[in-house]
Amino acid sequence: MEKPKAIVDREVCLACGGCISVCPKDAITMIAKKACVNKEKCTGCEICIKTCPVGAIYWEGN
Amino acid sequence: MKYDAVVIGSGPAGSVTARFAAESGAKVLIVERREEVGVPVLCGEGISKNVDNFNVLEGKRWIANNMDGARIFSPDGTMVSLAAEMAGNETGYVLHREIFDQELARGAIRAGAELMLNTRAIDLVKKDGKILGVKVKHFEEEIDIKADVIVGADGVESKVGRWAGIKTTLKPSDLETCSQYTLTNVDIEREFCDFYLGKKIAPGGYVWVFPKGKDVANVGIGILASLSTSGLATKLLDKFISSHPELKKGEPIRFLAGAVSVSEPYESVRDNLLLVGDAARQVDPITGGGLMASIEAGKFAGETIGKAVEEQKFDVETLSTYEKAVDAAFYNKLKRNYMVKEIMLGFEDKTLNMLADSLKDVKFDEISTLGLVKALVTKHPSLLVKLRPLMKAAKTKG
């Protein structure tokens, strides 16, 4: 089965950029003042989910 | 469109770089993806009064409050007081950070720099590997802006560095993830910035309480990303506030998130490109404070760009003048403090309590790493093993 991907809740994200700076695959970009995960690049490592100070990133489908 | 330098980001590092570059004759453009300089504020509202020596700010509107020093509370509540000049970069003035950033940007504009808001850098423009400019998106329009020097002042995300092939990705153990409230109706009339340590309070970081006025405080938390779980920073901050009666009765008028590197400084220069401020990881790894470093580095960067424009040479050797200057000015301190951070991470709460107990009565008129380590080791020989690397560094670097 394919690994799950991270997804950002745009209502919760406060655009701090922490997830972007730790993403080992450079899969996250700030677009229209919210972090945005590139699903093609995301490998589901979970680092961004754990890093988010407001809990705005979760597994897609959850 | 052709400029001598395009600066990506209008934070303190970007604005100060632009100012000094423009003052030395360069044609400079700052691009900022937000619609207002300084907003939203991303954490941190403390700075050393050394900022006055740089003459980059006019008036006093950016100052919220004057501090006399800092108080550090160990996990069991033991308090260590430090006078402002000993407490590092994060005490002295408490800022209205959005006004502070806007005043620095105004200084750059007055010196001749242009500023474009709502403009997001999306990539470098390169030909045969050579950087020729930057590709930006202004609303829906994509524009290529040509420039001899691109300055990555794009903060903790440091995308510009990545585009230039500098590996700026941070290890989770080198990033503090932060959240912060501005609380009003709190009982906070005091002249100290307070810091609270402890694994249960803020793993790998600290909680800060900065008084912005007699009933307003900036209360925030930073925890190490490697010790974080989803949303933990905010949960722990809420817990801290609800367990402190003087804060609990307050109401938030602002909630923010932030992120700050606590790594060693990274390489910051390539042909036609330099990084400055948080993007170059010019942040104190102990405190997470980077404002003073950004301003100091920005000055060197701007002056270096001015010279490069004069000579019309933009290769890595020419631009390295900047990196050599920041290295001489404060990289030793950052590297030493990175060692201290790594050592402190290994400390149990009881060790922190013991340290605080040893230091609580010390008069910090003069402080040096070596002196401090010697005093601690004399009292607690068991610390010798843990502190030895630091002692070595202090001896060689002073």
Residue B196, token pair as written in the block: 């609270």
Query: Count of alpha carbons within 13 Å of B275, Cβ hemisphere only?
Result: 26
DSSP helix/strand/coil, A7: strand
**Which segment of B139-153, B268-282, B344-358 scores lowest on mean pLDDT?**
B344-358
Pick from A26, A50, A51: which is nearest to B162 by CB?
A26
- CATH superfamily membership of B172-261: D-Amino Acid Oxidase, subunit A, domain 2 (3.30.9.10)
Which residue type sits at B95? L
Q: Would you call B229 and A58 a contact, using CB atoms and an 8 Å cutoff?
A: no
| DSSP code at position A19 | H
| A·B CB contacts under 8 A | 96
Residue B369 has pLDDT above 70, yes or no: no
Contact list in B for residue A36 (CB cut-off 8 A) is none
Residue B365, token pair as written in the block: 């008129």
The C-alpha of A18 sits at a distance from chain B's nearest C-alpha, in angstroms, of: 5
**Helix H or strand E segment including A59:** strand A57-59
Cα(B277)–Cα(B283) distance, integer angstroms: 7
Pick from B157, B171, B179: which is nearest to A17 by CB?
B157
Mean pLDDT of the residues in chain B: 91
Higher pLDDT, A47 or B42: A47
Domains of chain A: 6-54 (3.30.70.20)
| Segment A13-38, tens digit of pLDDT | 999 999 999 999 999 999 989 999 99
Task: Name which of A22, A34, A36, A41 to mutate to probe chain B: the one with the most chain B Cβ atoms within 10 A of its Cβ.
Answer: A22
What band does B398 get if pLDDT is binned at 50, 70 and 90? very low
CB B296 within 8 A of CB B284: no
What band does B26 get if pLDDT is binned at 50, 70 and 90? very high
| Segment B380-390, tens digit of pLDDT | 777 777 777 76
Q: Please enumerate in sequence order all residues whose Cβ is within 8 A of that of B44, keeping only pairs 6 or more positions apart, or say none.
A: B90, B97, B258, B260, B288, B289, B290, B291
- Best CA proximity match to B74, nearest among B202, B217, B264: B202
**Which segment of A14-18, B35-39, B82-86, B362-366 scores lowest on mean pLDDT?**
B362-366
- Distance (Å) of CA B153 to CA B228, B236, B270: 27, 31, 14
| Phi, psi values for residue B94, rounded to 5° | -95, 135
Residue B198 has pLDDT above 90, yes or no: yes
Q: Please enumerate in sequence order all residues whose Cβ is within 8 A of that of A21, keeping only pairs 6 or more positions apart, or say none.
A: B156, B157, B158, B168, B169, B170, B175, B259, B261
Residue B280 has pLDDT above 60, yes or no: yes
- Burial (CB count <10 Å: 0-12, 13-18, 19+), residue B189: exposed
Segment B209-237 shows an average pLDDT of: 96
Pick from A15, A31, A53: which is nearest to B234 by CB?
A53
Residues 14-33, chain A, touching B (beta carbon < 8 A): 14-18, 20-24, 26, 29-31, 33
What band does B112 get if pLDDT is binned at 50, 70 and 90? very high
Contact list in B for residue A32 (CB cut-off 8 A) is none
How many Cβ atoms from other residues are within 10 Å of residue B305's Cβ?
Answer: 31
CATH code of the region B2-70+93-171+264-331: 3.50.50.60
CB B263 within 8 A of CB B171: yes
Residue A4, token pair as written in the block: 């799950």
Q: Which pLDDT value is given to residue B311?
A: 97
- Distance (Å) of CA B187 to CA B91, B206, B249: 19, 21, 9
- Best CA proximity match to B56, nearest among B122, B12, B97, B5: B12
**Helix H or strand E segment including A37:** strand A34-37
Pick from A23, A24, A53: which is nearest to B177 by CB?
A53
Q: Would you call B231 and A52 a contact, using CB atoms and an 8 Å cutoff?
A: yes
Cα(B9)–Cα(A49) distance, integer angstroms: 26
Segment B19-23 shows an average pLDDT of: 98
Contact list in B for residue A17 (CB cut-off 8 A) is 42, 155-157, 259
Look at the block and give the residue holding tokens 């922490």: A18
Cα(B119)–Cα(B349) distance, integer angstroms: 46
Q: Which pLDDT value is given to residue B378?
A: 72
Q: Which pLDDT value is given to residue B397?
A: 44
Residues of chain B above pLDDT 70, percent:
90
Residue B259 has pLDDT above 60, yes or no: yes
Contact list in B for residue A31 (CB cut-off 8 A) is 120
Residues of chain B above pLDDT 90, percent:
75
Residues of B with CB under 8 A from a CB of A: 33-34, 40, 42-43, 120, 155-159, 162, 168-172, 175, 177-179, 223, 225, 228-234, 255-259, 261
| Segment B306-339, tens digit of pLDDT | 999 999 999 999 999 999 999 999 999 999 899 9
Pick from A14, A17, A51: which is nearest to B228 by CB?
A51
Q: Which pLDDT value is given to residue B392?
A: 67
Cα(B175)–Cα(B338) distance, integer angstroms: 12
Query: What number is the ipTM of this complex?
Result: 0.96
Q: What is the pTM of this model?
A: 0.93
| Segment B44-99, tens digit of pLDDT | 799 988 899 999 999 999 999 998 888 899 999 999 888 766 655 556 899 999 99
| Segment B118-168, tens digit of pLDDT | 999 999 999 999 999 999 999 999 999 999 999 999 999 999 999 999 999
What band does A1 get if pLDDT is binned at 50, 70 and 90? low
Q: Which pLDDT value is given to residue B43?
A: 72
Domain regions of chain B by residue span: 2-70+93-171+264-331, 172-261, 338-397
The C-alpha of A3 sits at a distance from chain B's nearest C-alpha, in angstroms, of: 19
